[in-house]
Amino acid sequence: MQEQSAGSFFFQGAVEAAIAAGYRHIDTAYSYNNEVDIGKALCSKTKQGIIRRQDMFIVSKLWCTHHAPEDIPVCLNKSLKDLQLDYLDLYLKMGDELFPKKDGKMLTCDIDYVDVWRGMEALQASGKVKSIGVSNFSILQLKRLLALCRVPPAVNQIELHPYLVQTDMIEFCKSKNIALTAYSPFGSPARPPELFRGDTDPHKLLEDPVVADIAKKHRHSPAQVLLRYHVQQGIAVIPKSDKPHHILENTKMFDFSLTEEDMRALRGLDRGWRACIADCCSVSQNQVSSILPLCLRLPGEWREQTAHWIDEYHKHQQASDQLHTVCCTCSITHCNSSVPCLHNNNRI
């Protein structure tokens, strides 16, 4: 309990330091288990007269365990209570888990994300949410949502950095007036080393010679260059740091500009490397089979593709009785496994 209390106090202090440094966009989620501490920090700085509620832009996320119509407002209300707020500025629907777990047990669900979105629209109509958006959605998912929804997503929050440029996504969202928010702008170097994926992991982005040379030229840090890279494209960026000197350093990106040559050099680093890939899980043939009834409820083109993947899985399974790894990343990646991945960038 002492360690948990110390951790909570430390996190609250980091948020207060960010607000004192000038941060006004705070990103969190039901599943991050930090909304209570953020709420305490917001209250503290409000009482000190540093901020008013209308000065802040608070973002939280609906988690995949709350997609049933009756659970959607429950998740929001829990976040509002923990944050000690009457409303959120932006509420995002996550899109990055194939096999979510709750209390250690795998959850199955046949709820279409379009139906979840309709629940999000109801939250906005209630006034408890100013805007609604998505996170980790592919272009195909966005197209389907735009075709069927009443309120278009205001934001798509995705991983973006020079090792993962995603030009097609940037251009598509711009054409549809969907704002982008970039997470992991530094390649998420603070992850535990066991989560690094060898030579195709972006955790050393801050050490890249191209980034270092541009930083030296502008007399700024590599982190400031990477943040400026996004801001200069009109993309909101949410760096993660708990160290006060880094928090302050991250705010010093508005007193210089990158040249077109700088921007081309940074985009030229694109390697398609992702830092944030959902953990893969071991799935038996029976568990994969349980997805088939779900697939039969899907629209034709997605139903046929997903059923094909499952059929391929069964063919492979006949050659082995072992458990196999199936990618849980849903909308954003394949796993490099001999087992056919259940979806790719064109997932449902």
Measured from the Cβ of residue 220, the count of other Cβ atoms closer than 10 Å reads 19
Secondary structure letter of residue 274 according to DSSP: -
Q: Among 25, 29, 30, which Cα is nearest to 42's?
A: 25
Residues designated catalytic = 32
Distance in angstroms between the alpha carbons of the first and the last residue of the chain? 42
**Chain-centroid distance, C-alpha 137:** 9
Strand segments, DSSP code E, in the chain are 25-27, 57-62, 88-94, 101-102, 105-106, 129-135, 155-159, 179-183, 236-238, 281-283, 324-326
Collapse the DSSP code of 24 into the 3-class scheme (helix H, G, I; strand E, B; otherwise coil) and give the result: coil
Confirm if 280 and 327 have CB atoms less than 8 A apart: yes
Q: How far apart are CA 28 and CA 46, in angstroms?
A: 19
Contacts 24+ apart (CB under 8 A), 30-38: 30/60, 30/61, 30/62, 30/63, 30/66, 30/75, 30/78, 30/79, 31/61, 31/63, 35/60, 35/79, 35/82, 35/83, 36/8, 36/82, 37/8, 37/11, 37/12, 38/11, 38/12, 38/82, 38/83
User: Residue 216: which H helix or E strand, with range?
Assistant: helix 209-218
